[in-house]
Each structure stands twice: as C-alpha cells, then as structure tokens.
Amino acid sequence: MSADSVRMAVDSQRCIGGGQCEMLEPEVFLVDDDEAVSSVIGSGVLPRARADVVVHRCPGAAVSIVGPES
C-alpha cells in the first residue's frame, strides 16, 4: 500500500466475536461464525488512519497494529 500503511493483528484470546472489525474492513478481518472469533485475512495491511478506527472501535481491545507494512 503506501508508506503510511500498517499491519494488523487480532488477539484471539480477547476477541468477543462481534464483528465490528469485519464490518469496517471486510478485506482484512473475517469472523468465524461458529467460533465467533476474528482473524486477519489477505494482506492484513491497512492505511494508518483506517487502522486506528478499527483499533478504537474494537470492544475487546483485541485488534492491534503490529508494525509497518513490510
């Protein structure tokens, strides 16, 4: 993506499976309906500003930014 893109991660222990992340960024997060837990899919990369929104909105404090894109 761009210089300002970051890599995302989900802490499956903390995730409560409500799917806010998937609603906001369906290309990057996928919630498994049976286990009700989210994981990172695809490139796992988001522009910084959008990454911050997901981190802010995740009720389980399970989404984090693990570092720059590469």
Partner 1 sequence: MSPTAAPAPPLAPEIADPRLYLDGIPHERFAQIRAMPGLGWHAYGDNGFWAVTRHADVREVSRNPAVFSSSIGHTNLWDLEADALEARRSLIDTDAPDHTRLRRMVAGAFTPKNIRRWTDTVREITVELLDEFEARGGGDWVELVAAPLPIRVILAMLGVPVADADYLVELSNYLVEGTGDTQSIPPDAFGNTTELRLLPFNSPASHALFEYGEDIRAKRRAEPRDDLVTHLVRAEADGGRISRHEYRHLFHLLVFAGNETTRTAISHGAMALAANRDQWQRVLDDRALVESATEEVIRWATPILHMRRTAASDCELAGTPIAAGDKVVMWYASANRDEAAFADPFRFDAGRADGEHFAFGGGGPHLCLGAFLARLEVSVLLEEMAARRLVLEQLGEPVRAASNFVHGVLSVDMAPAAGSSGGPR
Question: Can you tell me the distance from the alpha carbon of 32 to that of 70, in angstroms, rounded to the nearest whole number?
Answer: 26
**Among 38, 40, 45, 51, which residue interacts with ligand SF4 (rule: CB under 6 A)?**
38
| Structural element, H or E, at residue 40 | strand 37-40
* Pair of tokens at residue 19: 């799917």
Q: Is residue 46 a contact residue for ligand SF4 (CB under 6 A)?
A: no
Stretch that binds partner 1, among 1-9, 25-33, 44-52 (CB under 8 A): 25-33
* Pair of tokens at residue 6: 């970051």
Q: Which residues bind ligand SF4 (CB under 6 A)?
A: 10, 15-21, 29, 31, 38, 58-60, 62-63
